[in-house]
Each structure stands twice: as C-alpha cells, then as structure tokens.
Amino acid sequence: MKKKLMQFVMGTAILGLAMTTSAAGISSNVVKIGVLTDMSGVYSAIGGKGSVVAAKMAIADFGGKVLGKQIQLISADHQNKADIASTKAREWADTDHVDMITGLLNSGCALAVQKIGTEKKVITMATGAGSTTLTNEHCSPYGIHYVYDTYALPKVAGSAIVDTGGKTWYFLTADYAFGHSLEKNTKAFVKSHGGKVLGQVRHPLATADFSSYLLQAQASGAKVIGLANAGGDFINAVKQAREFGIVQGGQTIAGMLVFLSDVKSLGLDVAQGMNFATSFYWDRDAASRAWSKRYFAKTGAMPTMDQAGVYSAVTTYLKAIKKAGTDNPDTVMKTMRGMKINDFFSINGHLRADGSMVHDMFLVEVKKPSESKSPWDLLKVIKEVPGNEAFMPLSEGSCALVK
Amino acid sequence: MHLSYQMVLAQLMLGLNNGAFYAILSLGLAVIFGLLNIINFAHGAFYMLGAFVALIGYTKLGPLLGMPDFHMNYWAALLISPLVVGLLGVLIEKTMLKRLYKVDHLYGLLLTFGLALILQGIFTNYFNVSGTSYNGKPEILRGVVNLKFMMFPTYRLWSIGLSLGVCFVTWFAIERTKLGSYLRAGTENPGLVQAFGVNVPLMITLTYGFGVGLAAFAGVVAAPIYSVSPIMGSEMIITVFAVVVIGGMGSIMGSIWTGLSLGMLEGLTKVIYPPAANTVIFFMMILVLLIKPAGLFGKEQ
Amino acid sequence: MTSVNRKLWTALFLLGMVAPFLLYPVFVMQLLCFALFACAFNLLTGYTGLLSFGHAAFFGGAAYITGYLVKNTGLTPELGVLVGTLAAGMMGYIFGILTIRRQGIYFAMITLALAQVVFFIALKSPFTGGEDGLQDIPRGMFLGLIDLGHTYHIAGKPLELNLYYFVFAVFCLGFWIIHRAIHSPFGQVLKAIRENEPRAISLGYKVERLKLLAFVLSASLAGTAGATKSIVFQLASLTDVSWHISGEVILMTLLGGLGTVLGPVVGAFTVVTLQSELSALGSWVMVVIGATFVVCVLAFRRGFVGEVLEKIRIRAIKHNE
C-alpha cells in the first residue's frame, strides 16, 4: 500500500516538474506586465481598476506585440498591505515570470515589491507611492519612481504658497511615515522661503472627525493650514474646515498630496481656490485631453495622475524593449536611462541613476463653480515647474547607486 | 499645548457630537443583544447602509426613476432610510438569524460578521472608498451658531439634539411602556411571555429590525458631517463594541451614558495626546474590566 | 481505525515532503503558517470553547519580535522563532489573566479590545516601522550552518528548499504538540470544561488554571506561526496584528471544522487559496469571504472535516446496528 502511494506521489511530482518546465519555455516568449494596485481599499479611486484599464490601453496602443512577441497583462489587488504585495510580486516573479510591475499605491507596498524586484531582477515602476526612500536609502538598480514623490510635491506647492503671502503654517499630519515625511519636507521649504511654522498636530490614519484638530489649527492663527495626509483623511479635513468656517475666516487650506478624484469627491463648492501640486491634469494640453477622453470613454471618470502614469510607464517600458531589442532587465534599464520621456503625461522626462523619473510638475488651482464648464472641468494650471527644480537634486540624495 | 477653558469646552462639545453617534449605535446593539443574545457585528455595515440610502436617494434615485431633478431630501431620508434598512434587517432575521437561536450564540456573531463583509465589499465595488460628500443638508441647518465659547456648526448642534432625543425615546419606550415591559420580560423568560399570548418570534424579528433601523438612522444623521464611504461602518463598529463592553452588555441606559462620556473622553484626548485618540477607548475598557468586570452598568452574571 | 489513521498521517507527511515540487513553494509555506495558526486557535476555541477575537495580537506580535531580533541582533532563525513563540506565550498569559473569567461573547469582545491595544502599540512603537512594516528581515543561517535563503534551480524552477523544509519542520512540530495536547488527559479535561464547566469544577479540576494554560499554549503556537511567517516573507506588518486577521483565523477554523484535528488545516488551505486565486477580483473577494462565512454558519457548522467525520460516525452506527 505504502509503496503504491509512494509511486503515485513521485509520479505526480515528476509530472508537476515537467509541466512547469514547458510553461517556462512559453514564458520567455512573452513580455509580461503586472499591475499591482489597490482595488478595494482607501486608494482604489486613485489607482484601482482605472490603472488596469490604462495599462491595457497602453498595450493595445503599442499593437499588442513587441519585437514580434505577445505582451500580456496580469493584475492583482495589493490591498495596501505590504505582505500581500510582496507575496504576489514574489509569485509573479517565480511562477509567472513577470518582467515589469507597475502601480503600487502606498509606500509600504512599493518598498516591499521593489525589494523583491531587486532580488529577482524584475523592473518595478511605482506610480502611486510617494516616499522618497524608494530612490534614496532603498534605491534599486531595477526600481523606478515614476509619478511624484514627497519631495517634489511640497517643493512646488509649499514654495509657491509661501511666495504668494502664506507666511505662517500649521500642519495637520497623518501619524505615519508618509505623513511625517510630507510634513518634514514641506516645513523645510516653508522655512527656506522665509515662512514660519507655528505648530502641528498628528492625527491617526483614517480619522472620520477632524473638528478637534481643525479647532487647534484655527486657534494657532496660522495663515495656512497644511494637510500632510491623503485620500479620505484629506477629504474629511477639507470638508469639515469649511463646516467650521475656517476658510471663510481667512485661513487657507493647502493639501500636500491631492488627487483629481479627491477634488471630484469634495466638489468645487468646497474645494474652490485651493492650490496644490500635481504631475498631471487631464485638461492641460491637447495631447493630455485626447488621451484622457479615450480613457473616460472606457471608465466614466477622468484619470488621476496615477492612472495616467501607469499608461506612460507601460509605454515607456515597451519602447525601451523595442529600442534595446531585448527584454533583459539590465539592458532595458540602461536603455530607459538614455531615453527622453515625452508623452501626454510626462514633459521633459528622464530617468536618473537613483530611479527617479524626473519630469515637469504643475501647480494647479481648483476652479470656482462659476468657472467650471463641465463635470470634470475642475482645475486650472497656474504654474509649470521644470523637473530639475521640482525633484530632489541627486547631490542631496543618499542612493548608493549614484557615484 | 496650553489648554484654555474655552478650548476644553469646545472639545467637549465636539466629543459629545461623536459620543451621540456612539450612543445610538451602542443602544441598538444593546437592544438586539438584550433580546436576541446576539452581538450584531453587521451593525457598522447597517450604519454605512443608512448613510448610503440617503446618498443614493439624493443623487441617484431621480435619474434612476427618469426624473433627473428629483432628490430625496434629508427629512425624507431620516424616515425612509431606517425603514428600508430595518426591513432588510427583518428579512435577515427571518431567513438567517432565526435558524441560529438554538445553537451557540457565537454563531450569530460569526454570521453577522460575514454579512458585514458582504455589504462592505459590494459598496466598495461601486463607490469611492475615500468617501462621497452628501450635499442634501437642509438650508435651515447650514451655517454656524455662536455658543459664546466657540462657533459651532448648526447641523452638529441639531445632530446632537436629535440623537439624544432618539436615545431618550427609545429608553422611555423600553423601560416605561407596556410594550417595553413585554420586551424586557421576553429577555428574561421567553417561554412564559409566549404563554401569556405575546407573539415572541414576531417581537424578536421586530426588535432586530428596530435595532438596525437605529443604526441606519445614525448613518443618515452622520452623512452630512462625515463623508459617506463603504468603510465608515467598519471603522466605527470596533469602537462601538468597546463602548458596549464598558457600559455593560445589554444595559440601555448604560450604553447611552457610556457612549456620550467616551465620546467626550476621546475629544479631550485629541487635544492632549492626539495619536492615542483611536485607542483611548480600548485602554479605558481594560481599566474598567479590571475594576468592574461586568461593565459600568452591567450586572454580574 | 488506528491503522487507517497511521496511513493517513504518512500520506499527508509525504505530501508535505514533495509539495514544493508540485506547487509554488512560497505559497505552500504560506499555507503551512496559516494552518499552524488556525490549529493553535482551534486548541483554544474548538477544544476549550473560548472564542478569541484577538489572536492576531499573538500572530503579529511574535512576527514583529522575531523579525526585529533576527534583523537587528543577528539571531539565527530557529532561535528567533523560539523567542517569538515565548513572547507570544507571555502576551497570552497577560491576556489570559485579564479575560479567562469571562465567557462567550464577553470573552470575544475583551480579547478583541486587548488586541486593538497591541495594534496601537505596534503602530506607535519606533521598532515596528509604522505602516511600512518591518521589512528586509533576513532568512539567516539555520543553526548558523544552513543558509535558509538559498535557492535551488531544478528544471528551471526556483526552489527555496532549505527554507521550505525548515517551515515544514516547524509546522510538523507545532502540529504534533497540539495533537499531543488534545489527546492527553489535559485535552480531555478541556473538552469536559467545554461541555459542562460546573461539572468539571465539581469534579475538582482547577478550571481557570487549565483554561489559562490552554490560552497560553494556543497563544504561543499562534506566535510560532507568525514568527515563521515573518521569516518566510521577510516582513512583519500591521496587517498581521489587525482584527481582520483575527476574523480570518476564525473563518479558517470554522470552515474546516471547529474541534477537529485536521479541520483548521483544511480551512486554512481553502481560505488562503481562495484569496490568492481571487485576488484579481478586488473587493469582490471580501464578498466571497463574507458569503462563505454566512453559508458555513447556516449550512454546515461542523465544517468540512466535521461533516465528513459525522457522516463516518453515522455510517458506523448504522453498520453496528
């Protein structure tokens, strides 16, 4: 009995091995792109299914093939949990032979996946995460930080607001690493432009009621209340600031990380007049409009900078493969570093040695309801900031890959 | 942070606002627990559902019915939303919970946990998780009131008053009316009450419907203050559980008082040590359980 | 009966030995970690009748402690797991003192609240890495000799065999301890307490002390599972201490069969596989998991394994008649 069982088990084992070998053979004949994003959690409106649609569009626009080989797309939900993200990325690398992973909406997930990318030689193009550590202490030869970071956003928005008279600041900061980093960087720019920081209050992640914190900010008398948080926290804080008459009382609210979906959720009535920095706005120029309208036709919403960034990242990656004539990650990375990245999303973009994709950033203002002509006519671009001014100079960085 | 007398008062008012929501929710839990012996894990989901019924009624119902200008207004939502959700509760009790009365009560907790996941999952799929604004706040409740020590939004004042009113009416109905006495007797000895000709199964069904209707009511009242989001319930429910445990499970007055005072405690924490705001209630709970294991208002078993 | 049992165990053991060649090894390791976690949970809930809604505290707490020590003090993985286990046991003792007198729903709620406090500590402590979690935990050298991070390439397939057999050994050891505990006189008394506590008291058993012991044992082994997971995934994060994990382990155990030896293993395999297979569905996964809960509670409370055992029992009774 035992012998038979043994035979059966060994037989299955050999069969299993044989099957995976043949699968590996096919896998080298396709280029596989993975979209790993938040499909169910707090950031699903920023990335989510829209990011998958954007990646699909990029592949279709490229003709579905590169160097005569099929391009395949796989996607999964990382639920904003670093362990799920890392498990999925590892599995994709080991069994699906994925060549590039994009998306990655929070820093914890992006760090974990970039780590695995380094180990398994898989290129990662983070479009949703903000942490500058991705291109500094944790930088990787295969890791690209594509859309924005917690240095560029406050640099653009913080400096501009101080320069236009917002000299005193009070911060409402989400009490976790991302919020702290945003707060720290913004403070530095505020001070270097001659502004003053009067104080800050740290609130727990996913706070429903901001009224207590807002009252503290109001009592500080600061001209600007800087919100170093994101998503639902940002929306709640802005809404309630209006409820308590803080904006009417002469204080300005400044969001340090704002996505188009947040403005849409708040509505112009509440958000009007607010300035913030972004990498992308759909109504910026003819090219961005043309693409965004196609995207809108598929999803019913205009793209956030993350979703547009996914399209651009996938396209850039495919172009690099075509140019390099191979999907070998080392060669592709080298090719990408030598490319100019210019498309509807990225203007004057180039990839630096530390993995940062440096491109022009924009200071935008939320329109008044009277200025808006259509449901998605939400922002106007008031200033364009060249990438080299917006992003952290290589000399200030701490990436070990930069000599 | 120096605490001025005004600041403390202001924070207490804001805490009272949150506390009023805790009170309604834990009240509903207590009523359900009292009669059905079930911890209703789906309570947060029904709270979320209540807010969504108001939101959908305001933004989507009109276009759905072919009348793009039609909005179900706030006052209608206050009535309709608890009814709709209460009916759903009745349905759930009739088809599912009913089968569990003969087995361990923990299965009720597990079943409602599953229901909460289903509801939350469905809404996450169709609505923005970051929250959607509910813009149906009536004109009369907009603006701010001068309370001398602070400018307080009119709507929040209304929501405190309304919630306290509902809590009081519920308490009165259960503790001071004949119907309530059946209910309380049903908790103690269902067999005997049945023998007196009271339809106990019907009473149980209606109680569940009423309890979750209360949660939906809180959802509607909360909608104009917070963003309406699929996860608003799951964030709330764990805190409300702690409130119920501190107050003493099943005690109606206990849950009202504990809800209000813990809301205020939380409000003060937000000034003194903000990062602990979400956890102070759990520390409180451990403290209370060490001193009074049955909760502040509960009876020892 | 025993010979059937022995054959079953042998077959399962062999299956575990060849599993990394049949399935993706990291996935199997994940299954084993959660299976051990569910078995540990079952020891408390299935055999003692106390429903804990806070087991994530032990699972995640141990993951953090092991991860931190292995990463920062160069502790070898097996010692790391051992320390994690002991630490979880200590936490279990503290939880136990506070909760053991409570029953049923009270017990569930209080364990939940205590676990929330642990979550808060994990969120605020400087050593846990906040919401990024503790990343980059090295796999290290087993006994200082064998490199657990080594990857073999067999037929073009990357296989982390050293790590796999380490995890499998930990699982077997944990499972064996639980199995022994259940079938010892101690386990028999626990069952007696579950069935009829006053009677157990009147028979002179120190019920509270026994329950506390069960709690500590269950917490320790849940810690073993979490500690091992942190070595496998090189990561300990807030997810591991969140109440969702406490809910998931209940689902696993319930689905497989409360109070059965193999039930939690089957349940854990089912849930982890479902989550992995359905992960592209996004939020619908939550709906599927929720529906599974509902169907399980309504239709088969005994769980997969429990239902099968019940069928066998009924057949045996009929046969005897």
For Cα atoms C212, C215, C219, give the angle at the middle one, nearest 5 degrees: 140
Looking at residue C144, what is its pLDDT?
A: 81
Are residues A258 and A368 located together in one domain of the fold? yes
Asked if C163 contacts C33 with a C-beta cutoff of 8 angstroms, the reply is no
Q: How far is C134 from C122, CA to CA, in rounded Å?
A: 10
Average pLDDT, chain C: 89
**What is the domain extent for residue A223?**
152-283+362-384
> Are B289 and C109 within 8 A, CB to CB?
no
Least confident of B84-88, B217-221, C152-156: C152-156
Neighbours of C186 (CB within 10 A): 15
Average pLDDT of the segment spanning B144-166: 90
Instruction: For chains A and C, count residue pairs whose Cβ atoms are closer than 8 Å.
Output: 112
| Cα separation values, A242 from A170, B11, B21, B102, Å | 17, 18, 21, 52
Nearest Cα of chain B lies from the Cα of C180 at a distance, in angstroms, of: 27
Q: Judge whether A6 is closer than 8 Å to chain C, CB to CB.
A: yes
Q: How far is B293 from B121, CA to CA, in rounded Å?
A: 35
Residues C269-312: tens digit of each pLDDT: 999 998 888 877 777 888 998 998 899 899 888 888 888 888 88
In a domain? residue A139: yes
Residue C1 has pLDDT above 90, yes or no: no
Nearest Cα of chain C lies from the Cα of A17 at a distance, in angstroms, of: 7
Place of tokens 């023998």: B195
For Cα atoms B275, B279, B285, give the angle at the middle one, nearest 5 degrees: 150
Reported pTM: 0.86
Q: What is the CATH number of domain C22-320?
A: 1.10.3470
Average pLDDT of the segment spanning B218-247: 89
The neighbours of chain B, by the rule of 3 or more Cβ pairs under 8 Å, are A, C
Interface test with A, best of B118, B126, B130 (most A CBs within 10 A): B130
| Model confidence band, residue B134 (pLDDT cutoffs 50, 70, 90) | confident
In sequence order, what are the residues at sequence separation of 6 or more whose Cβ sits closer than 8 angstroms to the Cβ of residue B251?
B30, B295, B297, B298
Q: How far is C51 from C104, CA to CA, in rounded Å?
A: 7
Q: What are phi and psi of A278, to 5 degrees?
A: -150, 160
Residue B147 has pLDDT above 90, yes or no: no
Place of tokens 């409370």: C301
Average pLDDT, chain B: 88
| Model confidence band, residue B136 (pLDDT cutoffs 50, 70, 90) | confident
Q: How far is B99 from C299, CA to CA, in rounded Å?
A: 10
Q: How far is A41 from A80, CA to CA, in rounded Å?
A: 7
Give the residue ranges of chain A where pLDDT is below 50: 1-3, 5-6, 8-27
Least confident of A305-314, B27-36, C130-139: C130-139
% of chain C at pLDDT higher than 70: 98
Q: Which residues of A touch B (CB under 8 A)?
A: 40-46, 175, 201-204, 206-209, 211-213, 215-216, 219, 231-232, 235-236, 239-240, 243-245, 261-262, 265-267, 269-270
Least confident of A153-157, B287-291, C2-6: C2-6
Q: Tell me the range of A168-182, B168-182, C169-183 where mean pLDDT is highest.
A: C169-183
Q: What is the CA radius of gyration of chain C?
A: 20
CATH topology of domain B5-291: ABC transporter involved in vitamin B12 uptake, BtuC (1.10.3470)
Q: Which residues pair with B153 in a beta bridge?
A: B144
Are residues A239 and A379 located together in one domain of the fold? yes
Q: What CATH number does residue A46 fall under?
A: 3.40.50.2300
Looking at residue A74, what is its pLDDT?
A: 93
What's the structural domain count of chain A? 2
In the structure encoding, which two tokens stand for residue A68, read together? 């005569």
Are residues A134 and A168 located together in one domain of the fold? no
> Are C239 and A75 within 8 A, CB to CB?
no
> Are A112 and C235 within 8 A, CB to CB?
yes
Interface predicted TM-score (ipTM): 0.86
In a domain? residue A402: no
Question: Domain locations in chain B?
Answer: 5-291
Out of B109, B117, B275, closest to residue C105 by CB: B109
Looking at residue A237, what is its pLDDT?
A: 93
Are residues A51 and A94 located together in one domain of the fold? yes
Are residues A241 and A140 located together in one domain of the fold? no
Residues C73-103: tens digit of each pLDDT: 989 999 999 999 999 999 999 999 988 888 7
> Are B235 and A204 within 8 A, CB to CB?
no
Residues B53-66: tens digit of each pLDDT: 999 999 888 888 88
- Give me the torsion for CA of B174, B176, B181, B184, rounded to 10°: 40
Q: How far is A280 from C238, CA to CA, in rounded Å?
A: 32
Residue C35 has pLDDT above 70, yes or no: yes
Nearest Cα of chain A lies from the Cα of C238 at a distance, in angstroms, of: 8
Question: Domain locations in chain C?
Answer: 22-320
Out of C22, C158, C282, closest to residue A49 by CB: C282
For Cα atoms B172, B174, B179, give the angle at the middle one, nearest 5 degrees: 115
| Cα separation values, B251 from A327, B174, B258, Å | 67, 11, 10
> Are B106 and C291 within 8 A, CB to CB?
no
Place of tokens 């670093």: A82
Are residues A241 and A372 located together in one domain of the fold? yes
Asked if A218 contacts A249 with a C-beta cutoff of 8 angstroms, the reply is yes
> Are B153 and A243 within 8 A, CB to CB?
yes
> Are C131 and A205 within 8 A, CB to CB?
yes
Q: How far is C206 from B16, CA to CA, in rounded Å?
A: 46
Asked if A138 contacts A124 with a C-beta cutoff of 8 angstroms, the reply is no
Residues B232-245: tens digit of each pLDDT: 898 788 889 889 88
Residues B88-116: tens digit of each pLDDT: 999 999 999 988 888 887 888 889 999 99
Asked if A244 contacts A332 with a C-beta cutoff of 8 angstroms, the reply is no
Please give the residue of chain C at the shortest CA–CA distance from B280. Answer: C117
Looking at residue A28, what is its pLDDT?
A: 63
Average pLDDT of the segment spanning C257-264: 91
Burial tier of C273 (Cβ tally within 10 Å: 0-12, 13-18, 19+): middle
Q: How far is C218 from C36, CA to CA, in rounded Å?
A: 10
